[in-house]
Amino acid sequence: MSAALRRWCFADQLGTHFLDHPDQRVLLIESRAVFERRRFHRRKAHLVLSALRHRAAELGDQAIFLRTRTYREALDRVKDRISVCQPTSRAADRFVRSMPDLEVLPARGFCTARTEFEEWSRRQRTLRLENFYRDARRRFDVLMEGDQPAGGRWNFDADNRQPAPKNADALSVAPPWQPEEDEIDERVRADLDRWERDGSVAFVGRDGPREFPVTATEAQAAFQVFLRDRLPYFGPHEDAMLSGDRYMAHSLLSAPMNLGLLDPLACAYAAEDAYRAGRAPLASVEGYIRQLIGWRDYIWHVYWHFGEDYRRRNALDAHAGLPDWFTDLDADAVRAHCLKDVLAQVREHGWVHHIPRLMVLSNYALQRGWNPTEVADWFHRCFVDGYDWVMVANVLGMSQHADGGLMATKPYAAGGSYINRMSDYCGHCPYRPTVRVGERACPYTGGYWWFLDRNKRQLAANRRMSQPLAGLRRLTDLDDVVEQQRRLGGAAP
């Protein structure tokens, strides 16, 4: 029956795989209320609206495209019977299920169905990404040799943790695909300018030329450039940072994938084909495929599996508010080189790759004891690829350890030595990564020990934290470290 109904596609359901057949009638709704409720990054607002309007232009008379303040206003104007694939947020899911005449279908745009995940989870004593990933490899027959993993190993993480190359400003890798803006982009930008002038919406961050795909054709072009030019180099420096290279060898495909423009399983098979044809090494391909059928799917399922209360978990009792310099993306107020540079990238582009997110931005928030729900909301609003399902588990669970270990077996806290090892930031910084106290004390190094001291009771039972806590007990200047970090508080470092 659903194929005969008009398919309502949300702005993150824009690929052809959200339709039952190519000629299915479509409903697209642009709701301004979404932007009135929160301060999103200006580039994110532009990207989402551009993608939605491009899809409407592609479909032409096949689609009804309504621009209203709310979804309900638009639905009241549609006389057809409507089906919709399960939305990606709990709020939208509640809304569509509250509409009596709406047929809600299972979610699309992910590899493993929710029913499959729940069936798998019932067989597990403890949920772990690695176990889920191996199960997915078997089910989808990806990078397998019979019943064994290609190359004899499931995981090539150990090969993909090389630090940033010395004496290099950037990796010697071809640049990612770049779009060309068109008249639709111009009209979106003009509308956003007008909304801001009218005072109906407010944004954070700076505008600039569009950097990510907004159509399936563009997304496929960007994927092919990554597959051909960048995937072979992706693995080794996957966890490294260079101040002169904000892309490294990353795909930059999370934004179009989260708009529904790419099918993640199809991308995984294409990456496997590159390995089988000798065009990319196994370590790089495995690392990329793990992100698609492992990590991305796992984050999606955790969002639903642990229930509505998951977003309110706060195992480390972190309640400090986010300071204005951080929420306003005021990188100019910051002196610490790594944080200054990464925050500036967020301000200018609404995107940085996963290691600056985890080990610079999230690490700092964790050390300061910022409220994890507020941190997740900040990432949701300020990143072009940020959605509720993406950030709740990624931020609360992994980076802020607010779930007490359901997502990660230990907190992702690290001092300045880690940043120094994996980047070139520390050589141009007024702070020194080995200094804990004084004018040159690295805020990450001092913050790391402050974090451990503040949470030593909660972390005492964690076997993976026994060595760091033993180091904490050996510090002779701990009182001075803690006092200096308390004085810093929410001030920009």
Q: Phi and psi dihedrals of 397, rounded to 5?
A: -80, -55
The pTM score is 0.96
- The pLDDT confidence band at residue 159, using thresholds 50, 70 and 90, is confident
Question: Residue 221: pLDDT above 60?
Answer: yes
pLDDT tens for residues 381-396?
Answer: 999 999 999 999 999 9
Tell me which amino acid residue 267 is.
Answer: C
182 assigned to some structural domain: no
Question: pLDDT band at 167, cuts 50/70/90?
Answer: confident
- Does residue 302 sit in the same domain as residue 359? no
pLDDT, position 238: 93
How many Å apart are CA 277 and CA 125, to the nearest integer? 39
pLDDT (mean) for 214-234? 97
Residues 88, 134, single domain; the answer is no
Mean pLDDT of the chain: 95
Q: Which amino acid is at 304?
A: W
**What confidence score (pLDDT) does residue 2 get?**
58
**364 & 231 share domain:** no
Same domain, yes or no: 227 and 316: no
Report yes or no on 200 lying in a domain. Answer: no
pLDDT, one tens digit per residue, over 115-129 is 999 999 999 988 999
Tokens for 144, please give them. 């397998």
Does the pLDDT of residue 107 top 70, yes or no?
Answer: yes
Nearest residue to 360 (alpha-carbon basis) of 373, 346, 348, 374: 346
Q: Are residues 119 and 240 in the same domain?
A: yes
Range list of H helices, 230-281: 231-234, 254-258, 264-276
> CATH no. for residue 469?
1.10.579.10
The confidence band for 157, taking pLDDT boundaries of 50, 70 and 90, is confident
Domain count, the chain: 3
37 and 125 share one domain: no
pLDDT at 4: 77
pLDDT, tens digit, 9 for 90 and up, residues 393-426? 999 999 999 999 998 889 999 999 999 999 999 9
Q: What is the mean pLDDT of residues 246-253?
A: 96
d(CA 193, CA 385): 22
- pLDDT tens column, 455-484: 999 999 999 999 999 999 999 999 999 999
**279-289 residue pLDDT tens:** 999 999 999 99
What is the extent of the structural domain holding 454?
Answer: 310-488
pLDDT of residue 3: 59
Stretch 292-321: mean pLDDT = 96
DSSP string, 285-331: HHHHHIIIIIIIHHHHHHHHHT-GGGGG--TT---BPPPHHHHTT-G
- Same domain assignment for residues 340 and 423: yes
**Together in a domain, 366 and 446:** yes
Among the candidates 306, 329, 361, a domain finishes at: 306
Per-residue confidence (pLDDT) for residue 31, from 0 to 100? 94
Distances (CA, A) of 107 to 85, 171, 440: 5, 38, 51
Q: Within this chain, do residues 399 and 445 fall inside the same structural domain, yes or no?
A: yes
Residue 409 lies in a domain: yes
Q: What does the DSSP assignment read for 156-197?
A: -GGGG-PPPPTT-SS-S-PPPP-----HHHHHHHHHHHHHHH
306, 340, 374 - which closes a domain: 306
The span from the CA of 197 to the CA of 188, in Å, is 14
| Whole-number Å distance between alpha carbons of 249 and 252 | 9
The string of DSSP letters for 68-135 reads ESSHHHHHTT--S-EEEEPPSSHHHHHHHHH-TTEEEEPP-SSSS-HHHHHHHHTT-SS--HHHHHHH
Asked whether residue 204 is assigned to any structural domain, the reply reads no
DSSP state of 400: S
pLDDT for 466: 94
* Domain limit, last residue, from 61, 86, 105: 105
Task: Quick: pLDDT tens for 327-374.
Answer: 999 999 999 999 999 999 999 999 999 999 999 999 999 999 999 999
The answer, yes or no, to whether residue 1 has pLDDT greater than 70, is no
Show the tokens assigned to 133: 């990933």
